[in-house]
Amino acid sequence: MIKTFHHRDFRLDELIRLKRSRGETVSVVLPAREVADTIGEIVTKLRTLGDLIDQILVIDANSADGTAEVAAAHGAEVHQESALLPEFGQALGKGDAMWRALAVARGDLIVYLDSDTRRFPRHFPVGLLGPLLVFDDVGFVKGFFRRPFVGRQGEERPLDGGRVTELCARPLLSAFYPELAGFVQPLAGEVAARRSLFERVPFATGYAIETSMLLHVRDLIGVDQMAQVDLEVRRNRHQPLPDLAPMAYAVLRVVLERLRREGRLRDGQAPPLQTADGRLVQVEIIERPPFVTLGAHR
């Protein structure tokens, strides 16, 4: 059963004490694409956590809006995603950036955070690290939160965010992997684990990363060592509805591919996604190998 906590269950000073007593280090990784308006505040807030965090990594997707420059000016260590592990070609989205970050992340514990959060709450990494540092039987932590949706007139609808989660990810997990359906926000980008676990996980590129990671982590450590933490509220920019179709299709493809591997679905080539305006969009699901298999890069 998935363990559930609240970020207020953990105190910053106690986590720093536990981290020091274990001699462990923490890296925070922020995959970033065109987020110059939010990345500076996030890095600044992370730096106020003092000795809890040893490395703040921004993995930039060649942003044109100055994301890398803003992040560096606020004290982050910045890398361009495609410059990491270049033998694998151009980076293929968020999941690939997260995977390549393992080549430069130095921490024993790694926290991944989305970089488009507005009014970033500094308790996010505290809540994510808490279960890992306090409980020996927790190996993976995912955040959950309310995601208010801001309408065209600026009105805030508290429960209308997370459309792909509610319409795609949750029904699929409930139908085929009910042991994971208890995750309130299965597609949340806020996750933490020890490096030794992340190095054993194949990372799906692009939008498929969160669903794929849940399934692989379940295989590696079991649901009983997986946890979630209530982080209260996350505010971020929301994509137009048509732009969510590739994300939803990637989630669907991950589940279908997993069912095929398990013998619960016949082999077959998945067709392209047809959008509302008639376009055919190829949504490729590519997995990078577990980092631990790369040898020389460790």
Q: Which tens digit of pLDDT belongs to each residue from 99-148?
A: 999 999 999 999 999 999 999 999 999 999 999 999 999 999 999 998 77
Q: Are residues 252 and 164 in contact, defined by beta-carbon separation less than 8 angstroms?
A: no
- Report the alpha-carbon distance of residue 235 to residue 144 in Å, rounded: 12
User: Tens digit of pLDDT for each residue in 203-232?
Assistant: 999 889 999 999 999 999 999 999 999 999
Provide the pLDDT for residue 84.
98
* pTM, 2 dp: 0.90
Buried b or exposed e, range 248-275, using 16+ CB within 10 angstroms:
bbbbbbbbbbbeeeeeeeeeeeeeebee
- Report the alpha-carbon distance of residue 216 to residue 23 in Å, rounded: 28
Q: Are residues 191 and 142 in contact, defined by beta-carbon separation less than 8 angstroms?
A: yes
Residue ranges in the chain modelled with pLDDT below 70? 149-161, 236, 238, 267-271, 273-277, 296-298
Domain chopping of the chain, boundaries: 3-293
DSSP strands (E only) in 61-176 = 77-80, 109-112, 117-118, 140-146, 149-150, 156-157
Provide the pLDDT for residue 159.
54
Provide the pLDDT for residue 41.
98
**Residue whose pair of structure tokens reads 């989660």 in the numeric block:** 165
Q: Is the dihedral of CA 74, 57, 69, 96 positive or negative?
A: negative
Closest CA to 98 of 119, 113, 83: 113
Provide the pLDDT for residue 100.
98
Provide the pLDDT for residue 135.
98
Q: Supply the mean pLDDT for the chain.
A: 92
- Report the alpha-carbon distance of residue 221 to residue 228 in Å, rounded: 15
| C-beta pairs of 170-178 under 8 Å, 24+ apart in sequence | 172/251, 172/252, 172/255, 173/214, 173/255, 176/255, 176/259, 176/264, 177/215, 177/218, 177/255
Query: What one-letter code names the amino acid at 255?
Result: V
Domain 3-293 has CATH 3.40.50.300: no
Q: For residue 50, how far is the Cα from the chain centroid?
A: 23
